[in-house]
């Protein structure tokens, strides 16, 4: 046996229920070995190590299908707001931020999946979710950090999708007054909202009820195709020539609008558009024969295609309407235009197929919080056979269906009363995306590689006669076999790396090394505690794979500095982005002349 988990056809770990094992033991708590379940005893197979306790996909897809799913989670509602983001950030700065966000997205997607699946410490331990990965170094705080922000990001995206459906479908069906283009006043309430309600119930809800994301591979491909056609429409029909001419030429636009004071609002929209880290584990879990190279191929294809589409639509949309660019670029086109309505129809199709992607993420969060990752609610009968859950309402509403309906209703209520897409995208990106897409990958990289990073800092300080603690692990909050004072003696001799009284060079303080070493020390200690708890639970030492293996990816020096940038960039984007949105909304309410 190679130590990697084997799975049954129903997605369960051989010898146990879905993902039997611990799911991130909080610091200060100990674990005890799980008693063998009746299912495992019935199959007479030992329980294998499996950190994540989730229901596994029953169907998988290849690189093309997985790339379509990932790309569909990227170019959802966010792509239609790219022109608005460029307007808020400025033309040149907006495009530069888009390229930066795309690069960071690709890098972070690889970082979190490579840490969970191919790191020497974690490979073959079954780390299958973002929150479980963060739990290993940072305990319960890391778990909640990811889950809360995953839900914020997915929830905001779903509200945005319903808003777009409300903006587009009634116009396409000729149920709105075409003369009035103001989305805050046009149409009767029950025309727009009722159409959104009926169409989403008929199309969105059934798709969201599906169990596995791989089932959406075909619809994702259709959605991506619709996005490509939509971008072509905006390029073809956006009045770029007349708009640029009226503004004094392209050079004048660059001079006047290369940067804008509201750039962090634009960054929030861009972060929402490109953020897909909350879907990364679900998408990668649907990839057949997952390897680091195949996952890299998925991320590269998805991010490259997405950023090209975003640039094309963003430039054409912004140059066509400049300061009049709206959060939903299609609202800038006439409501009675046949080409514009064709574009709206394509956008509606995209939203119908993209909403379920985010619903899967939100449902995953609720399943983790409420049911410890068990979505199927299967039990074991007296004869040892797996018994499906008893569903309500004539067998129609099981656990998965009930949670899906709760999520749908929770997103439907604000979508009925909100009209402006821009602030929804910006706030979602500033808060949820900044934490999930930037801060999270940086924190978890330092956490898992904490001991290696502290060793690296000792090498840096050696020429200066300084040093960090030689014991980054700190006190182990687990029972110690043997001398009961061993733990206290270990803790007594441990000096924190960033508080050593030895003099440090100037760059130590300028580049924030006290913060980075504090994070690394905390993460190294947490990782050691977690793995020690796992050893205690399984009753056998953890023997990781050899680092000579092609499928093992350890720490790299360049990634330490990338992680520093991730954390700093995400923190600034979150704080300034939220503050900018609040300022703009308050200013519009209280200080804008009526």
Report the chain's terminal Cα–Cα distance, integer Å: 73
Ramachandran assignment for 544, one of left (phi > 0), alpha (psi -120 to 50 degrees), beta (any other): beta
Give the span between the Cα atoms of 502 and 275, in whole angstroms: 42
Structure tokens at 501: 């009284």
> Coil, strand, or helix at residue 14?
coil
Pairing state of beta strands 386-387 and 379-380? antiparallel
Say what the pLDDT of residue 49 is: 60
**Rounded to the nearest 5°, which phi and psi values hold at 387?**
-105, 120
Q: Judging by beta carbons within 10 Å of its beta carbon (0-12, 13-18, 19+), is residue 12 exposed, middle or buried?
A: buried
Give the span between the Cα atoms of 570 and 8, in whole angstroms: 40
- Those residues of the chain that have pLDDT short of 50 are 1-48, 178-180, 182-187, 470-501, 546-548, 594
The secondary structure of residue 3, as a DSSP letter, is: S
pTM above 0.95, yes or no: no
Say what the pLDDT of residue 585 is: 79
Cross-strand pairs, 392? 397
3-state DSSP of 118-185 = HCCCCCCCCCCCHHHHHHHHHHHHHHHHHHHHHHHHHHHHHHHHHHHHHHHHHHHCCCCCCCCCCCCC
Say what the pLDDT of residue 472 is: 44
Say what the pLDDT of residue 594 is: 47
Query: Residue 197's Cα: distance from chain center in Å?
Result: 27
pLDDT tens track for 261-293: 889 988 988 988 888 887 788 888 888 888 899
Give the span between the Cα atoms of 323 and 452, in whole angstroms: 50
3-state DSSP of 297-318 = HHHHHHHHHHHHHHHHHHHHHH
**In degrees, to the nearest 5, what angle opens at C-alpha 215 toward C-alphas 213 and 217?**
85
Say what the pLDDT of residue 27 is: 39
**Rounded to the nearest 5°, which phi and psi values hold at 513?**
-60, -30
* Domain assignments of the chain as residue spans, ordered by start: 63-420, 450-553
**In degrees, to the nearest 5, what angle opens at C-alpha 296 toward C-alphas 292 and 299?**
140
Say what the pLDDT of residue 401 is: 85
Long-range contacts of 218-222, Cβ-Cβ distance < 8 Å, separation of 24 or more: 218/65, 219/353, 219/356, 220/65, 220/68, 220/69, 220/71, 220/72, 220/353, 220/357, 221/64, 221/65, 221/68, 222/349, 222/353
Q: Which class in CATH covers the domain with range 63-420?
A: mainly alpha
Cross-strand pairs, 397? 392
């Amino acid at each position: 046996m190679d130590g990697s988990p084997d799975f049954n056809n129903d997605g369960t770990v051989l010898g146990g229920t879905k993902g039997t094992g611990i799911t991130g033991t909080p610091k200060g708590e100990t674990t005890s070995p799980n008693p063998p379940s009746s299912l495992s005893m019935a199959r007479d197979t030992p329980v294998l190590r499996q950190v994540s306790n989730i229901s596994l996909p029953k169907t998988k897809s290849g690189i093309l299908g997985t790339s379509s799913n990932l790309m569909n989670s990227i170019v959802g509602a966010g792509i239609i707001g790219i022109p608005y983001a460029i307007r808020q950030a400025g033309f040149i700065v907006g495009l530069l931020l888009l390229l930066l966000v795309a690069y960071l997205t690709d890098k972070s997607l690889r970082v979190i999946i490579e840490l969970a699946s191919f790191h020497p410490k974690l490979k073959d331990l079954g780390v299958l979710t973002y929150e479980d990965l963060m739990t290993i170094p940072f305990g319960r705080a890391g778990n909640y950090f990811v889950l809360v922000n995953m839900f914020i990001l997915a929830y905001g995206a779903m509200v945005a999708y319903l808003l777009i459906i409300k903006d587009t479908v009634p116009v396409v069906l000729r149920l709105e007054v075409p003369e009035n283009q103001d989305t805050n006043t046009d149409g009767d309430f029950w025309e727009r909202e009722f159409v959104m309600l009926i169409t989403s119930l008929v199309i969105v809800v059934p798709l969201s009820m599906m169990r596995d994301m791989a089932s959406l591979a075909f619809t994702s491909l259709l959605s991506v195709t619709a996005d490509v056609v939509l971008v072509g429409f905006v390029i073809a029909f956006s009045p770029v020539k007349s708009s640029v001419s009226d503004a004094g030429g392209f050079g004048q636009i660059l001079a006047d609008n290369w940067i804008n004071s509201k750039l962090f609002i634009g960054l929030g929209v861009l972060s929402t558009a490109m953020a897909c880290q909350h879907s990364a584990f679900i998408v990668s879990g649907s990839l057949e024969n997952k390897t680091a190279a195949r996952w890299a191929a998925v991320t590269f294809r998805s991010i490259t295609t997405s950023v090209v589409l975003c640039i094309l639509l963003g430039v054409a949309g912004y140059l066509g309407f400049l300061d009049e660019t709206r959060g939903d670029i299609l609202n800038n086109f006439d409501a009675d235009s046949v080409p514009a309505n064709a574009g709206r129809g394509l956008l509606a199709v995209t939203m119908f197929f993209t909403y379920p992607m985010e619903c899967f993420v939100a449902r995953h969060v609720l399943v983790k919080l409420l049911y410890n990752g068990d979505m199927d609610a299967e039990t074991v009968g007296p004869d040892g056979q797996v018994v499906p859950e008893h569903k309500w309402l004539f067998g129609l509403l099981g656990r998965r269906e009930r949670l899906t309906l709760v999520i749908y209703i929770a997103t439907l209520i604000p979508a009925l009363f909100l009209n402006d897409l821009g602030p929804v995208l910006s706030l979602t990106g500033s808060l949820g995306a900044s934490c999930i897409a930037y801060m999270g990958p940086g924190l978890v990289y330092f956490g898992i590689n904490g001991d290696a990073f502290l060793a690296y800092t000792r090498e840096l300080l050696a020429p200066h006669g300084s040093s960090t603690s030689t014991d980054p692990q700190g006190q182990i909050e687990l029972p110690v076999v043997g001398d009961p004072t061993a733990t206290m003696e270990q803790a007594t001799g441990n000096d924190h790396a960033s508080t050593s009284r030895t003099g440090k060079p100037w760059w130590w303080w300028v580049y924030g090394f006290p913060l980075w070493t504090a994070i690394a020390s905390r993460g190294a200690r947490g990782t050691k505690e977690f793995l020690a708890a796992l050893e205690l639970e399984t009753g056998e030492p953890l023997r990781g794979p050899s680092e000579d293996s092609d499928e093992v990816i350890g720490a790299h020096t360049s990634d330490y500095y990338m992680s520093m940038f991730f954390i700093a960039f995400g923190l600034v984007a979150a704080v300034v982005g939220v503050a900018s949105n609040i300022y703009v909304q308050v200013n519009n309410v209280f200080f804008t002349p009526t």
